[in-house]
Every structure is written in C-alpha cells, then in structure tokens.
Amino acid sequence: MRKLDYNVIVEKIVNFIRKKIKNSKVSGVVLGISGGIDSATAASLAVEALGKKKVLGIIMPYYQNKELEDAILVCKHLGIYYKTINIKNIVDKFEKALNFKIDKITKGNLMVRSRMVILYGIANAKNYFVLGTSNKTEFLVGYFTKWGDGASDIAPFLSLYKTEVKELAKILEVPEKIILKKPTAGLWAGQTDEDELGIEYNLLDKILYRLVDLKMQKEKIAEDLNIPLERVLYVEKLIKKSEHKRRLPSFPKL
C-alpha cells in the first residue's frame, strides 16, 4: 500500500471539514454512529475540526445488540451529544406497506435508507451538513446502499482505503475495541462486511490500489501479490458491477 503521513492526513481532513462548514454557513454536522471504525473516525475528525458542540451523533439501531453499545461508547468517548432513534418500527411499517415478502438484502437496504431520511431530516431542521462515513474501498466496489449510506453532504474518506482509515483511527485514539472489531453494517445477525464482499479488506485494498491507482496489469497484480489471478478478476468484477452506484441517473440527451 501507499505510504502516508497520517498526521498530515488528519490535518488535511480537519481543515477540509472546517472550511466546508464555514463557507457553507451551516451550524455543524450530523452523522450516523454505528459503532464501527468509519463513523467513529469521522466523528473524531469532526470534533477536532469543529468542537464537540457542533457534532451530533445519531444512533439508529434496528436490533438491540453490541453494536448499539459500541455506538454509545464512541459518543461518550468523544463527549458529543447523541440521540438514539430505534428504526425497527419504521422499517417494519415500510415492509408491511409493501405487502409482500422481502429478502434480507432488501430489508437491509430499507434499514439503511431509513437512516438516511432521518439524518437529512435532522440536518434540514438544524442547518447542519450530513457527514459521510464511506471510504474509498466501499465506494469502488459498491459496498454501500444507493441513496442510503452513500448519501452525504461531505465525505472526508473517499480518498482513503478502509485499511488507511484504520490507521487514521489509531492516530486519533479511537477506542481499541472499535478498531479491532470485525467490520459489520449490523443488518442481520452475524453479518460482516468481509463475508458479504467475499474477500478480506487487507487483500482487497492491495488489489484496488494496484488496479485503480497504479493501473497495473491484472496478471502483474496477481504475480506481485502472489495470489491467483481469479482474485484480481473478482475485484474487477465488483467494480464494474457497481458502476451505476457511482453515477447520477441516466437520462436522454434532448
């Protein structure tokens, strides 16, 4: 992976957030706190940039589990004001209104989009920006819900791979429990990012960096990382399959 000075990266992101808020004349930022490393790191940077009083954390559980506990831990660690809004009734009513059986992926998307609606409702009412938590890895392979967790006003991590966000979290002294836990969107029992993606983040980032940033030949990447070519082709397929998520809706030229 590329060599980064993470202290410099912290300074750049803090200045970015501070400048965006000042120039846009909004009062602060609101973000969803999941109990994961991305939202914890984003909230930490927002506090560095704006101070505790201008950062609002919204915890939106569907399940009452350890993710809820971890989200509260993050907010208390940072000393920010937070609000817990249980989305179970909201999502269940959406599901009931559809009047047909949906699979767990569709239900997960309903959960994520419900959170987006809540965040933007609060942002509109308080003159805040929605602070995004998506990273470059998720963005490139489409590991986000279209018009859900991919929606935000500012997105400080879209130039950083998942493993780089992890290094950033260490610099910012995010609680070790959060740094070490397996990444999960908490959409169903036992769900993890890497199981859904079909590849571990460490390897995924190494492939993406060579494929996207260095623009290396696929065969060379496989040789360089000492992995089967099929792994590289799999990642390339993830990128191509999710292209629609990174574009505005298609429209006719008139």
pLDDT at 186: 75
Asked if residue 222 is part of any domain, the answer here is no
pLDDT at 124: 98
pLDDT at 238: 98
Compute the distance between CA of residue 156 and CA of residue 45 in angstroms, rounded to an integer.
9
Q: Is 125 in contact with 178 (CB distance < 8 Å)?
A: no
Asked if residue 13 is part of any domain, the answer here is yes
* Residue 160: CATH number of its domain: 3.40.50.620
pTM of this structure? 0.95
pLDDT at 211: 98
pLDDT at 6: 97
Domain count, the chain: 1
**Containing structural domain, residue 119:** 6-198
Asked if residue 239 is part of any domain, the answer here is no
Compute the distance between CA of residue 74 and CA of residue 115 in angstroms, rounded to an integer.
18
Compute the distance between CA of residue 182 and CA of residue 31 in angstroms, rounded to an integer.
21
How many alpha carbons fall within 13 Å on the CB side of residue 54? 20
Asked if residue 203 is part of any domain, the answer here is no
Q: Is 59 in contact with 84 (CB distance < 8 Å)?
A: yes
Cα angle 145-192-142, degrees, rounded to a multiple of 5: 30
Asked if residue 179 is part of any domain, the answer here is yes
How far CA 151 is from CA of 25, 51, 132, 146, in Å, comes to: 20, 24, 7, 8
How high is the mean pLDDT in each 10-residue block of the chain (254 residues)?
A: 94 98 97 96 98 98 88 98 97 95 94 97 98 98 95 97 98 96 80 91 98 98 98 98 93 92
Compute the distance between CA of residue 201 and CA of residue 251 in angstroms, rounded to an integer.
35
Q: Is 158 in contact with 136 (CB distance < 8 Å)?
A: yes
Asked if residue 157 is part of any domain, the answer here is yes
Asked if residue 249 is part of any domain, the answer here is no
Residue 180, C-beta contacts closer than 8 angstroms, at least 6 positions apart:
none
Asked if residue 115 is part of any domain, the answer here is yes
Instruction: Say how many C-beta atoms besides its own lie within 10 A of residue 253's C-beta.
Output: 3
pLDDT at 185: 77
